[in-house]
Amino acid sequence: MRISKQKHRKAERIELVRLKREQREQTLCFSSRPFVLCGLPVRQLPKGQLLYERRNGHFVLQVTGHPDYGVPFGQDRMVPIFLATLAVQQQSRTIRFRSASEMLETFGMNKGGKEYRRLVAAFERTFGATIFFGTDTLTSKAKIVHRARFNFFSEARVWYNRANEDCVLGERYENVIVLSDEFFEEVTAHPIPTDLEAVKLLSSAPAVLDLFVWLSYRCFTAGAKERIPIFGPFGLVQQLGAVEYGRLRKFREKLQQWLSAIRRVWPECPAKLDGDGMYLWVDHATAIQPVVPSVAE
DNA sequence: ATGAAAGACCGATGCTAGGA
DNA sequence: TCCTAGCATCGGTCTTTCAT
């Protein structure tokens, strides 16, 4: 049997993810609740569609895309992760990073011209988008909506929109993004640690990535066995960023495949479909192992 | 037993990401 | 810049399950 180079490389990276987990040497990055509880679209939305809504229980995420750039999708989900990670690390609304290649490097992506262009497009879509994230609770009579509407940043000086201004030779550029209060508050109040090595590995499989990040969070917070509906208004179909399938069983089939992809990087993941395929069972588990206190060196 | 619905498997397609 | 591999999606179809 022939193994492609890509497959081989992937297998090695899977091995690395597992090894680092076992040895408790994981590197962390951070995500944020809006994008853990609800998924951005996996594929580009049809032309002209600028509004996207997902739901997780009573949490609702609405993303409104900029008319020129559209709604973020696919690999764009790395941008909020990158921003959240920097916000947590730097503990400041004002985050700085040296270069675009720093982000590409962080997530193990190539650094060709194509990748830079893709990254710029991802930033444009993300920064152009407006986010609504909040809860709606159905009380006896009225539907009460608590929502925060925000952009990701209030100010940005980044490489691609800085053409010619203050280009003093020899001065080192720094990319500066001032996160909006809302996003910064959200991220610092609820940072969601995630295994960076796994995120890198799954960066080209957006649907699997979302499910993995959510499951590692969901299993961590689960006290015991819990049952999550797959269909219906509070089901996974409303949460994940996949399209609405013509055949319901397609979604279930896909879910199975995504779960087995997750088990390859996280064999102990307890998530399982039940016999009827109407529910996903989760249980307490930790995709992120606490760091072993290191012996004095 | 029979038909309907769901599951499992296959291959094609359009698009994206990775690699040389 | 070009070619290949991979991902999400869709439709086809055979098999299994299940209620009648």
In a domain, A26, yes or no: yes
Structure tokens at A48: 């002209």
In a domain, A291, yes or no: no
Q: Say how far apart CA A287 and CA A210 lie, in whole Å.
A: 14
Q: What is the mean pLDDT of residues A257-266?
A: 92
In a domain, A290, yes or no: no
In a domain, A295, yes or no: no
- Check pLDDT > 50 for residue A73: yes
In a domain, A55, yes or no: yes
For the stretch A169-181, pLDDT in tens is 334 567 888 998 8
Angle formed by the axes of helices A78-90 and A113-128, to 10°? 80
Q: Supply the pLDDT for residue A168.
A: 43
Average pLDDT, chain A: 85
Q: What is the mean pLDDT of residues A12-32?
A: 92
Q: How many domains does chain A divide into?
A: 1
- In Å, what is the CA distance from A184 to each residue of A75, A129, A257? 22, 16, 35
Q: Supply the pLDDT for residue A88.
A: 94
CA of A45 to C1' of B11 (A): 25
More confident residue, A138 or A34: A34
* Residue A248 Cβ < 7 Å to strand C: no
In a domain, A63, yes or no: yes
For the stretch A188-204, pLDDT in tens is 999 999 999 999 999 98
* Residue A286 Cβ < 7 Å to strand B: no
- Check pLDDT > 80 for residue A163: no
- Check pLDDT > 90 for residue A85: yes
Structure tokens at A182: 């809302």
- Which nucleotide lies at the shortest CA–C1' distance from A2? C5
Percent pLDDT > 90 in chain A is 49
* Residue A252 Cβ < 7 Å to strand B: yes
* Residue A2 Cβ < 7 Å to strand C: no
* Residue A47 Cβ < 7 Å to strand B: no
In a domain, A97, yes or no: yes
Pairing outcome for strands A59-64 and A51-56 = antiparallel
CB-contacted nucleotides of strand C (7 Å): 1-2, 4-11
For the stretch A209-218, pLDDT in tens is 999 999 999 9
Structure tokens at A187: 């991220």
Lowest mean pLDDT among A16-20, A64-68, A78-82, A114-118: A114-118
In a domain, A36, yes or no: yes
* Residue A277 Cβ < 7 Å to strand B: yes
Q: Supply the pLDDT for residue A3.
A: 65
Structural domain of residue A191, as residue ranges? 5-282
pLDDT confidence tier of residue A99, bands split at 50, 70 and 90: confident
